[in-house]
Amino acid sequence: MSVGGGETAEGLAAALGRRLRERDLAAAPAALNLIEDRSLAGRAAAAALLAEVSPAALGGEAPAHLVGVTGPPGAGKSSLLSELVSVWRAGGRTVAVLAVDPSSKRSGGSLLGDRARIDHDPADGGVLIRSTATAGRLGGLAAPTRAAAQALASAFDVVVVETVGVGQSETEVEELCDTVAVVVQPGSGDTLQFLKAGIMEVPDMLVVTKSDFGDVARHARRDLEGALRSLGAGRTPVLAVSSLSPTQGIDELVAGIDAHRAELDVHSTRTRARRLAALSEFAAERGERGVRELGGRRAAERMLAELDPALEIPALVAALESPGRGGR
């Protein structure tokens, strides 16, 4: 096929990156196709694209608010997202949702159903929903999610990463996002138990859904607040919402998410996110042996901490791959 006057794939990829930087949302689907492409040519092109949306190219951190929404299946994440998307859009903010679903272990295939449950106007170009499968990866994210979030963050006002799970599976979401909300269904004690047992880290906020359930929802909220106090995290907000018409608590949740971002040092959060992403990508490529050769995970993290905070993930990975050369 012809892709235009002799331009290289990398040149075209870079052009896509520039379009994202200029907040051309129509460039997003093709950019995501590229970022998900695991072939050698695809990876080289993706790197060219990502360089165009790096902090260096942008002259600072990408403007979007990266919001993680995670919780067990059936907790009401998608219904909640429907409401959040509509409030954000009503306020004039553009929104991208990266919905991550588990894959079937046996076939490698997946059924991606979240899109169906997030109400949105198909004529509205300000909303993008993209579903990806974990393809057997542990940790909650699909392989391309971090890079995808980074690219979209240069173009959209809000980028949501939605993952399924409870316990340790939200570690990666927490690394990637500015603000993480864990969604809890009343009447299910898993989150409470995981919090108490220290299996799960304290998130930025907890959201109890289905507050129309009345007493059950009130009990769930009270129990979570008690557990947070005993963990010394009494300031962590626990919000109750109902996504059923008439909705309750959605505006308060949006305000809570914004308030968390307002107090955040975005630059250091994103720097840490890039470094951990690079380490995760390095470990995926080189395995545990590769990490050991760097002196173990802690040593690798220390090494990354000394590099230029503006470095992109591919540069950071390159630095890990040839440790002698430092930060270029």
Partner 1 sequence: MGETPPHRLPEADPPWVMRTYAGHSTARDSNALYRRNLAKGQTGLSIAFDLPTQTGYDPDHELSRGEVGKTGVSIAHKGDMHDLLDGIPLDEMNTSMTINATAAWLLALYLVTAEENGVDRGTLQGTTQNDIIKEFLSRGTYAFPPGPSMRLIADTIAFTVDEVPRWNPINVCSYHLQEAGATPVQEIAYAMSTAQAVLDAVRERVEPDAFPRVFGRISFFVNAGIRFLEEHAKLRALAELWEELGRERYGVTDEKYLRLRYGVQVNSLGLTEAQPENNVIRIVLEALAVTLGRDARARAIQLPAWNEALGLPRPWDQQWSLRIQQILALETDLLEYPDIFEGSKVMDGLVEELVEGTKAEMAIVAEHGGAVEAVPYMKTQLVESHRERVGRIERGELKVVGQNVFTGAEPSPLQEGEDGGIMRVDPEVERGQIEAVRRWRSSERDPGAVATALEDLRSAARGASTNLMPATIACAHAGVTTGEWAGSLRDAFGEYRAPTGVSDAAPTSEDESLVALRERVEEVSETLGRRLKILVGKPGLDGHSNGAEQIAVRARDAGMDVVYEGIRLTPQRIAQAAVQEGVHVVGLSILSGSHRELIPDVLRSLREASGAGNGSGAPSVPVVVGGIIPESDARELLAAGVARIYTPKDFEITRIMADIVELVAGCAAVSDVSASGTLASLAQGAPRQ
Nearer to partner 1, 121 or 265 (CB): 121
Distance of closest approach, residue 278 Cβ to partner 1, in angstroms: 21
Place of tokens 């890990």: 320
Q: State yes or no: residue 272 binds partner 1 (CB under 8 A).
A: no
One of 57, 87, 117, 309 touching partner 1 (CB under 8 A): 117
Q: From 23, 93, 95, select the one nearest 52 (Cα to Cα).
A: 23
The answer to whether the CB of 261 falls within 8 A of the CB of 178 is: yes
Distance of closest approach, residue 105 Cβ to partner 1, in angstroms: 9
Nearer to partner 1, 214 or 295 (CB): 214
Q: State yes or no: residue 38 binds partner 1 (CB under 8 A).
A: yes
Query: What residues between 231 and 260 interact with partner 1 by CB under 8 A?
Result: 244-245
As a dihedral over the C-alpha atoms of residue 28, residue 29, residue 31, residue 32, rounded to 10 degrees, the angle is 120
45-55 as b/e, with b when 16 or more CB fall inside 10 Å?
bbbbbbbbbbb
Here's the x/- map for partner 1, 121-150, by CB under 8 A: it reads as -xx----xxxxxx-x---------------
Q: State yes or no: residue 12 binds partner 1 (CB under 8 A).
A: yes
Nearer to partner 1, 31 or 257 (CB): 31
Query: What residues between 13 and 32 interact with partner 1 by CB under 8 A?
Result: 13, 16, 19, 24, 26-32
The answer to whether the CB of 129 falls within 8 A of the CB of 120 is: yes
Place of tokens 């890039």: 274
One of 59, 106, 235, 289 touching partner 1 (CB under 8 A): 106
**Strand, helix or coil at 309?**
coil
Nearer to partner 1, 19 or 65 (CB): 19
Nearer to partner 1, 58 or 244 (CB): 244
Distance of closest approach, residue 123 Cβ to partner 1, in angstroms: 6
The answer to whether the CB of 142 falls within 8 A of the CB of 135 is: yes
Q: How far apart are CA 269 and CA 154, in angstroms?
A: 16
Q: CB under 8 Å to 313, separation ≥6 — which residues? A: 50, 146, 147, 150, 274, 277, 278, 281
One of 23, 60, 91, 111 touching partner 1 (CB under 8 A): 111
Query: What residues between 188 and 227 interact with partner 1 by CB under 8 A?
Result: none
Q: State yes or no: residue 316 binds partner 1 (CB under 8 A).
A: no
Q: From 163, 314, 181, 313, select the one nearest 260 (Cα to Cα).
A: 181
Place of tokens 């949501």: 160
- Other Cβ atoms less than 10 A from the Cβ of 64: the count is 22
**Strand, helix or coil at 227?**
helix
One of 91, 119, 258, 293 touching partner 1 (CB under 8 A): 119
One of 3, 199, 231, 255 touching partner 1 (CB under 8 A): 3
Q: State yes or no: residue 41 binds partner 1 (CB under 8 A).
A: yes
Question: Can you list the alpha helix ranges (DSSP code H) found in 139-295?
Answer: 145-153, 171-176, 190-197, 215-230, 250-262, 266-293
Nearer to partner 1, 25 or 233 (CB): 25
Distance of closest approach, residue 303 Cβ to partner 1, in angstroms: 31
Nearer to partner 1, 119 or 265 (CB): 119
- Strand ranges across the sheet with 65-71: 127-133, 95-101, 158-164, 65-71, 179-184, 205-208, 238-240
Residues that bind partner 1 (CB under 8 A): 1, 3-4, 9, 12-13, 16, 19, 24, 26-34, 36-39, 41-42, 45, 103-104, 106-113, 115-117, 119, 122-123, 128-133, 135, 244-245
